[in-house]
Structure 1
Amino acid sequence: MRELISHMVLVHELPFAFVEYEIFNMVMKFSNPAYEKISRATVKGDCITSYQMEKKRLMALLKTTSRVSITTDCWRSGQNIQYMVVTCHFVDSDWKLQKRIINFINVIGSTGVVISDALFKCLQEWELEKKVFTITVDNASYNDSAVRMLKDNISVFKKLSLNGKFFHVRCCAHILNILVQDGLSEIQDAIFNIRESVKYISASPSRLSMFSDIAKQLQLPNKKLILDCCTRWNATYEMLSCALEFQNVFPRFQVRDSSYKYLPSGEDWDKVKNVCTFLEMFNDVTILISGSEYPTANLFLPELWRIKNALNDKIDDDDECVRAMARKMKVKFDKYWGDCNLLISIAAILDPRNKMQLVTFCFDAIYSKEEASKYIKVVRDSLYEIYQEYADAYAARVEKSNNTKSGQDENSDGLSRFSKGKLGSQKGRQMFDQFMRTHDTVAHVKSELDTYLDDGE
């Protein structure tokens, strides 16, 4: 019962004093006469114990996987406390995608050294320093130096795949946010008026009621205005899209409330309407790649191609505002995705629906003819290189297993009693058989890779 109560407190973020509330104890006593009241200090200890038990279970689960990917980001709380969240992603033994938050770290200062040291300490605590495959961060400059230092530290323990080309992953959702925020700066005056309008109306229940009454008179949907978070472009998009539905309500609201000073102009609404139509695709892409319960890396390449095509089209749009947005966004697109992204490309190839055909199709649209040919070759060569790493690792495991088996056979057959010549002959045969088994297995896997890539071409 106490363990269940501790889980309730943790999941619902209840204060420890909750267990001392009179009504709570009356309910517990009614449902179970044997229940004994516990103190806030007791439930705090139970919560710590529950955490430690869950941590042991997770560590046991992590021991069964050979590679993990890490995502991390820094936040600042309302109390001005800066902390870093570290999330671990891995595939378990049942081939299910898992996501676990493994730490909240209080960090003082946003420097590469501080972030790198905190991350490495966290990885050591969870015994993951030899299992890290990729680390995904946003594009803050301190993250570049932090990942670079972390890469050097981890390289001491293990050889990184493709010499670390996969290690540093830039968050696609964050890049998309930077891309669109640059574009939205073209209509910042219209956004300001709508944002301030939403703030003004939402600040008072009476104003909200008046706004709702007008919306009902116009037979508009029974929806609430949305106030955005300025740092998230898709939140701004949702605010603008929602406000558009109430476009005819705002001027009628101003007639009833003379203090309202932020009425968007007709030109503002025209800009917002055209921009929202343009940004609808970007919102769809953000939702797609932000999923956490399904693989996303294999989905992004065709969306990248879709974005590039849309930007190319909108550069010649009839609307001047949209043209200006597209130009700004294209500059950012070329900055962050001008070079080939190996991880996204290889993930796309390993989706059986795509293979190399998708890479060829998308690269021909994203890059010039010469660049496309060069990057397609880079991707194919890298795919075979990482395959060879897996093949070599598998061959080493087979060899180790065979050596163990050979040693057991020798002991069981009493080969140590044979003469040196006969023993040498026996080992030679075993070495040849082992070579044939290993060679045959690796060659078979490689031929399957070639067949996979060639199938359907």
Structure 2
Amino acid sequence: MFLKIHEQIMEKVSKASAVCLTTDCWTSRATCGFMSVTCHFIENYKMESCLLDCFEFTDRHTADNLADNLLRIAREWNITDKIVACVSDNAHNISLAIHKTSWKHLPCFAHTVNLIVRGGLSVIQNTLNKIKAIVEYMHRSTVAAEKLKATQQQMGLPELKLKQGCPTRWNSPFYMLQRFLANKDAIITTLALVNARLETLTQDEWKEMEEACEALRPFEEVTVEISGESYVTASKVILLSRSLQKICTRYLRSGGFRKPIIDMLETMTKDIATRFHKVEFHHLLSEASALDPRFKKRAFSDDHAANEAFQRLKNAAGRVRLSSSAHQTEQQQAAASAASPPPQETQESLVWGDFDEQVAGLVTRTSSSAEAVLEMRSYSEEPLVARSSNPLL
């Protein structure tokens, strides 16, 4: 079965003209290290993903060791010359490892958003610690868990367990708060009945957590949006990062939040500005946005960044056309040589001489670069397609 699937995936990957890799390293509960590499490409205008390797990583997680394994996997799958970029989290060792491979590195957008949220939540950490302690107690104590279930039944609430937060799971603090707030009355009643020796939340803290949940909702939406494998995501990064900053600023101006949540929003707003202040000038992300028919120049707030992206695309299109034209010319010349004898280089047509001279200034001599400019101009002036549509189609 392994050999059969390996052969099928090798065939699929071999047909891809370009690929993007995602990689991650982690340590299991049994303290075993692992590394995985996934390959993403377009096949028949559909997004495809293949897990290339997932193995126990027994060596130290140094940049050199990680780079060696990334290069090994690329060689095994014959994709060394096809890799457009490699996506990873923001850990220094894997970032340095990708740099050592000479591949372009894209920090995972969802992981970056997660870091921003964790930084903001540190402002309200004391209240979060109270919630975590209560949630852990409900998971640890069978008596408390049964009492919570009975209380939920009496109050007509869904019988749902409380969710625990985990720093490495995206959006987990939001889901923990969401579930905790939905069971507020049942939790208060249960803690009173079991006489648990735990710090409980004050009314102000309950209100603050409601506001925190509201403030985190856009971050949860963005993380879910950007985490898909079956649809295009890179072209959304510029727009989504700017959208988060606008929403946080709007929340701060609204005056509808208490002091701790205002501090949290200010922390996240500053972090967004720091991490994404040059995102529109990132070559891969800006070109992806420009080439997405849903966004084009509308993805940019900086005209200079948009113009630079479109100029790079015009240059790239010109190079492709030049290469294609040269290949086509070679084919035409070979065909002409086979079909008829070569013409005399100095001989001019007597029949068409006068006509050719008269229209010489009217004949358009196009170049590959000029055609590329016209094509990009035509593309940029077309109306945008609906945001819900598939840009690959």
Aligned-residue offset at 1:177: 0.4
* Deviation sequence 1:55-75 (CA, Å, 0-9, x none): 222222222221111111111
- Paired residue secondary structure (1:130): coil
1:82 corresponds to 2:33: yes
For residues 401-416 of structure 1, the aligned pairs below 5 Å read 401-404=328-331, 406-407=333-334, 410=337, 412-413=338-339
* Match for residue 323 of structure 2 among 396, 399, 404: 396
Give the residue type in structure 2 aligned to 1:99.
Answer: S
Aligned mates of 1:424, 1:185 — CA distance in 2: 82
Give the residue type in structure 1 aligned to 2:249.
Answer: N
Aligned mates of 2:144, 2:279 — CA distance in 1: 52
Name the structure 1 match of 2:295: 354
1:182 corresponds to 2:119: yes
Identical residues among aligned pairs (%): 22
Name the structure 2 match of 1:13: none
- TM-score, with structure 1 as normaliser: 0.73
Measured at CA, do residues 393 and 104 of structure 1 come closer, stay the same or move farther in structure 2, by a change above 3 Å?
same
Aligned partners of 2:170 and 2:223 also within 8 Å = no
Aligned partners of 1:345 and 1:379 also within 8 Å = yes
- TM-score, with structure 2 as normaliser: 0.84
Aligned mates of 1:67, 1:53 — CA distance in 2: 24
Aligned mates of 1:114, 1:256 — CA distance in 2: 55
Name the structure 2 match of 1:218: 155
* Deviation sequence 1:97-131 (CA, Å, 0-9, x none): 11111112443222221111111111111111101
For residues 238-249 of structure 1, the aligned pairs below 5 Å read 238-249=175-186
Aligned mates of 1:195, 1:135 — CA distance in 2: 35
Unaligned runs of 5+ in 1: 1-49, 155-166, 364-371, 427-435
Name the structure 1 match of 2:267: 328
Aligned mates of 1:424, 1:285 — CA distance in 2: 67
- Paired residue secondary structure (1:146): helix
Aligned-residue offset at 1:439: 4.8
More helix per residue: 1
Aligned-residue offset at 1:233: 4.9
Could you say what the CA RMSD is over the residues aligned between the two structures, in angstroms? 2.6
Name the structure 2 match of 1:209: 146
Aligned mates of 2:291, 2:106 — CA distance in 1: 18
Aligned partners of 1:298 and 1:347 also within 8 Å = yes
Name the structure 2 match of 1:102: 52
Aligned partners of 2:87 and 2:107 also within 8 Å = yes
Measured at CA, do residues 256 and 132 of structure 1 come closer, stay the same or move farther in structure 2, by a change above 3 Å?
same
* Deviation sequence 1:395-441 (CA, Å, 0-9, x none): 3134224424533553x44x7xx6xxx57749xxxxxxxxx999566
Measured at CA, do residues 437 and 78 of structure 1 come closer, stay the same or move farther in structure 2, by a change above 3 Å?
farther
1:286 corresponds to 2:223: yes
Aligned partners of 1:244 and 1:273 also within 8 Å = yes
Aligned mates of 1:83, 1:439 — CA distance in 2: 55
Aligned mates of 2:80, 2:344 — CA distance in 1: 42
Measured at CA, do residues 394 and 186 of structure 1 come closer, stay the same or move farther in structure 2, by a change above 3 Å?
same
Give the residue type in structure 1 aligned to 2:279.
Answer: C
Aligned-residue offset at 1:76: 0.9
Higher RCO (C-alpha under 8 Å, 6+ residues apart): 2
